[in-house]
Amino acid sequence: MTLRFALPLLAAAPLLAAAAPALKSSPELGKAEGRCRAGETGPAFLVSVAGMKDRTGNLKLEVYPATDADFLADDNILLNAGKTFRRVEVPVPAGDTPELCVRIPGPGRYAVTVLHDRDTNRKFGWTVDGIGFSANPKLGWSKPKAAKASIAAGAGLTRISVVMNYRRGLGVAPLRQ
């Protein structure tokens, strides 16, 4: 492989590695803590998922601390350190704009990710799946900084909209409308 072709692949590696769950991750971690109750009043995020490519697969929403060291970190490490990690995973619902509810420990800043796991393999595949972040930062060759992908939550329900990004050329971006 020549250096000319290796550089774009090396540049994309941090985004791909950051979006993929760690090997030790358990799909059930964070779900009980994140599950909203009927008539949820908060503190919680109510997340509208916009710009989906199709209605196949699952949606996986995860909440992380809004620090670069903790954003997209292994769920086991976060929970063992007493840090925030929440997960909601559901089949993609039919209809216009899916909404997912996730409980959070209290008011504050959090980084939220949504994975459109189109092939249901529970990990991000940049050629197949979609990904979105709270505050909808423009994506480059690596994961966004936590400050760019975080949002403030209040004591009640905090409504946010996450725009999905899918492969376009050698990068990822929202679908053209």
Check if the beta carbon of residue 24 is closer than 8 Å to that of residue 76: yes
Domain count across the chain? 1
pLDDT at site 20: 46
| Mean pLDDT, residues 48-66 taken together | 97
pLDDT over 70 percentage in the chain? 85
pTM, two decimal places:
0.83
Which CATH number fits the domain that encloses residue 67? 2.60.40.1120
175 within a domain of the structure (yes/no): no
pLDDT of residue 116: 97
Domain of residue 85 covers 3-20+30-168
- Assigned domain for 34 exists: yes
Task: Supply 53's token pair.
Answer: 């490519």
Do the domain assignments include residue 25? no
Residue range 113-133, pLDDT digits in tens: 999 999 999 889 989 999 999
- Specify whether the CB–CB gap between 120 and 9 falls below 8 A: no
Let me know if residue 122 belongs to a domain.
yes
Instruction: Kindly report, residue by residue over 5-22, the tens digit of the pLDDT.
Output: 333 433 444 444 454 444
Q: What does the pLDDT read at residue 169? A: 81
Whole-number pLDDT of residue 34: 83
φ, ψ for residue 76 (rounded to 5)?
A: -60, -45
Q: Which amino acid is at 43?
A: P
Mean pLDDT of 73-100: 94
Q: Would you say residue 14 lies in a domain? A: yes
